[in-house]
Amino acid sequence: MKSKKGVISIQFNWIFILIAGVLILLFFGSLVLKGKDASDTSVAGTILTNMQTILTGAEVSVRTINQIKIPDKEIKVSCDSISVGKVPTPITKNKIIFAPDIIKGRTLLTWALDWNVPYHVTNFLYLTTPDIKYIFIEPLDDKANELFNLLPDEINKKKEEISNIKDTGNNFKLVFFDGLDPIVPPGLSSVPDKRVSAISVNSGSNEIKFYNKRGNEFKSTGTADYLGDPLVFGAMFSGSREDYECNLEKAFNKLKIVSMVYEERTNTLRGLYSGTGCRSYYSAPIIDYSTTSIDEVKMVISSIETSNQYLQSSSCPTIY
Amino acid sequence: MKNKKSQIKMFETIAVLLIFFVLIGFGLIFYGRIWGATIQDTEGENFELKAIQTAQLVSFLPELQCSSNNDDCFDILKVEALSKIINNIQNKNLKNEYYYDIFGFSSITIEQAYPSVVSWSIYNKTTEGTKAKSSINIPVSLYDPNLRKYNFGILTVDVYRK
């Protein structure tokens, strides 16, 4: 009887140790997991805070390219947010950032251009990595060559005929100009579809067509307007047509606001110079892209430029 | 007798476990407090950073900048125009949505100090229960396109934290 009791007592001890051991292991296991999650969130938060500072700084240093060393984490960029892992941070309505959907690698290239239509409206920020190769398809006219030369040398860029393009292990963005139908270069036909995309710029209609590779051909994903060279670069650096259009909307919204300021300013000048020859040139330059076509916007821009030139030659305060 | 011995042993084990968990509990509370303090410090740093970014954004705002693109130069007619547009009740969406998205809870004023004293309130959105305020003053040139003269002024950016 006594020996039976001892056996039960020993067995109970073992069961007790087992349960307590499992509980302790679970407790520490969950603590480690939670700690890892918290550490990941903290790292992501630090990266995003630093990114915001870098982007604000880069945005105001127009026409300068910055090579920034970043942690080897996947950074997702869309028109209204940037996220690292599961942590997103919003991009404000005044920040216009053209970037690929996903930024990978240790080097981030930032470049900014000012958008003047005709007055300074905003600065566009372009993000890319050395892994993305931008190929301008030859033959190129003077305008296309000018665009190519405007791109900083630090950006992985090349002018090439379609038959000479070879897979170098990069992601490819092909840029076609007027009259050239996008075709998949034979050298890239076996490259996975998601590594190759293209845009076709039509300067006559101020339109850009976006393409994704599907096997041996390019499929169009849609068309969007552009106004000025900085937006051609915007389409080139964008990950998708949707992102480009979202940023285009932000840009035209900003144009509307800046135009409101110039309209108010011009009205004041018209009042101040009411009895002079300057008055007639102070036409109100309000541009609302939501109600007008791109051609009408271009006409308004041209009329403001002409008025400004007249004002300058007549020694009157200019519109911009 | 043996039964009592094993019972004492059992209590001993439970007591050790209890003390173990109490110590872990104390450790966690201590760690949590330090973590909380670190988070508060980081929040404070981020707030200061946000205030600097806001001041930088205002300095380079095309709605205010001189056309010649001079750094830290504001066009007086643009300053007047933007102040009028933002503070116009008809444009409250512009203030509450567009500019709130950029400046958040803050107050932006430009004060001309020379040759005469004039002040413009560009944007002002405060909140109840403000915990902290960061104030940044930047000297700026104010260009008067009518007289074609540069005046001297100060840009004040106050950023509030809830």
Most confident listed range (A19-28, A271-280, B39-48, B144-153): B144-153
Residue ranges of B 93-152 with Cβ closer than 8 A to chain A? 94, 97-98, 101-102, 145-146, 148
Per-residue pLDDT at B78 exceeds 70? yes
Q: Distance between CA A320 and CA B68 in Å, rounded?
A: 9
Q: What is the pLDDT of residues A156-209, one digit of tens each?
A: 999 999 999 999 999 999 999 986 779 999 999 999 999 999 999 998 889 999
Mean per-residue pLDDT for A76-98? 92
Most confident listed range (A15-19, A113-117, B47-51): A113-117
Mutate to test the interface with B, among A94, A262, A312, A315 (most CBs of B within 10 A): A94
Helix (H), strand (E) at residue B19: helix B2-59
CA atoms within 13 A on the CB side of A95: 29
Bridge partners, A133 (sequence order):
A172
Per-residue pLDDT at A4 exceeds 70? no
Q: Which residues of B touch A53 (CB under 8 A)?
A: 49, 53
What pLDDT, on the 0 to 100 scale, is given for residue A300?
A: 87
Position A35 confidence tier, pLDDT thresholds 50, 70, 90? confident
What pLDDT, on the 0 to 100 scale, is given for residue B101?
A: 93
What amino acid is encoded at B106 in this protein?
Answer: S
Mean per-residue pLDDT for A300-315? 92
What pLDDT, on the 0 to 100 scale, is given for residue A56?
A: 84
Q: How would DSSP label each residue in A251-277?
A: HHHHHHHHHHHHHHHHHHHHHHTTTST
What pLDDT, on the 0 to 100 scale, is given for residue B1?
A: 57
What pLDDT, on the 0 to 100 scale, is given for residue B21?
A: 85
Contact across the interface for B77 and A268, Cβ inside 8 Å: yes
Q: Distance between CA B82 and CA B91 in Å, rounded?
A: 11
Q: Which two tokens stand for residue B15?
A: 């007591």
Lowest-pLDDT range of A98-102, A161-165, A281-285, B111-115: A281-285
What amino acid is encoded at A57 in this protein?
Answer: G
Q: How do the domains of chain A map onto residue ranges? A: 1-130, 131-239, 251-313
Lowest-pLDDT range of A133-142, A261-270, B43-52: B43-52
Q: Which two tokens stand for residue A90?
A: 């919003």
Peptide bond into A139 cis (omega under 30): yes
- CB-defined contacts A:B, below 8 A: 78
From A199, A151, A157, select the one nearest A178 (Cα to Cα).
A199
Report the percentage of chain A scoring pLDDT > 90: 67
Q: Which residue of A has its CA nearest to B75?
A: A265
DSSP letter (8 states) at residue B32: H
Per-residue pLDDT at A130 exceeds 90? yes
Of A257, A261, A318, the CB nearest to B98: A257
What pTM value is reported for the model? Answer: 0.88
